[in-house]
A = this chain, B = another copy of it.
């Protein structure tokens, strides 16, 4: 899966690329089916919503769940990112964000690279965020919002917010968001389960709470250029990985083949 020159230009300009319905419903079903058991585990890698039992974010499932391990090396995800960063990649972070029906809380305006630099000493913003929808995303279940073009300003001033939600975040101040939105507006890509978004580590993003009866589970992978690996190991290794082995992409039907093999074996 090679990106076109138009897609390269679009990424450069807007800071993201959207691929609606990139994975089939058969592929996402395998992943979605694995989520409840993972969320049910009482482990530090499951961060729950403030005052609630619903999981806000699950870390590092690719290290202990077979379908997610396969997704982590999927060529439809790895190849375009490799194309954009021009280098082999390793997995810096792997999350399954719940944004559960009724319980999913806000994510305030932030840039991911701000955290990677401050907490992990990642040298440059040469790491890509990948969002893969495990549920349909619509206007009611708290879609990801981007400010197009905001990645061009590099790392913006941010304050460490440890109180609003259950997960601490380096949050950008309101005045800056006002200016950025005046320039670039806001977009919220929506689409069926299996859609994918690639977005720049400096792209400013947020999402509202989910008051709808529809879950909005998404996988967020952060793929870092190998030479740009983190230098500081302050955060737990299930949050900021320390294994810089380059990812070998699998063949395209990996997710489906795994299911079929399992069905055949049963």
A residues with a Cβ closer than 8 A to B are 101-102, 106, 108-109, 139-140, 142, 145, 174, 177-178, 181-182, 186, 188, 206-209, 211-213
Q: Are B211 and A140 in contact (CB under 8 A)?
A: no
Q: Are B142 and A213 in contact (CB under 8 A)?
A: no
Instruction: Report B-chain residues with C-beta under 8 Å of the C-beta of A102.
Output: 174, 177
Identify whether the interface residues of A are mostly helix, strand, loop, or mixed.
loop
Q: Who on chain B is nearest to A186 by CB?
A: B140
Q: Who on chain B is nearest to A108 by CB?
A: B211
A163 to chain B minimum Cβ distance, whole angstroms, is 9
Provide 16 A-B residue pairs closer than 8 Å at the C-beta atoms, listed in order of the A residue.
Answer: A101-B174, A101-B178, A102-B174, A102-B177, A106-B209, A108-B211, A109-B211, A140-B145, A140-B186, A177-B213, A178-B213, A181-B213, A206-B211, A207-B211, A208-B209, A209-B209
Instruction: Report B-chain residues with C-beta under 8 Å of the C-beta of A188.
Output: 139-140
In the bound complex, what is the Cα–Cα distance between A206 and B211 (angstroms)? 8
A19 to chain B minimum Cβ distance, whole angstroms, is 21
In the bound complex, what is the Cα–Cα distance between A13 and B206 (angstroms)? 36
Instruction: Report B-chain residues with C-beta under 8 Å of the C-beta of A101.
Output: 174, 178
Q: Who on chain B is nearest to A213 by CB?
A: B178
A102 to chain B minimum Cβ distance, whole angstroms, is 5
Instruction: Report B-chain residues with C-beta under 8 Å of the C-beta of A145.
Output: 140, 211
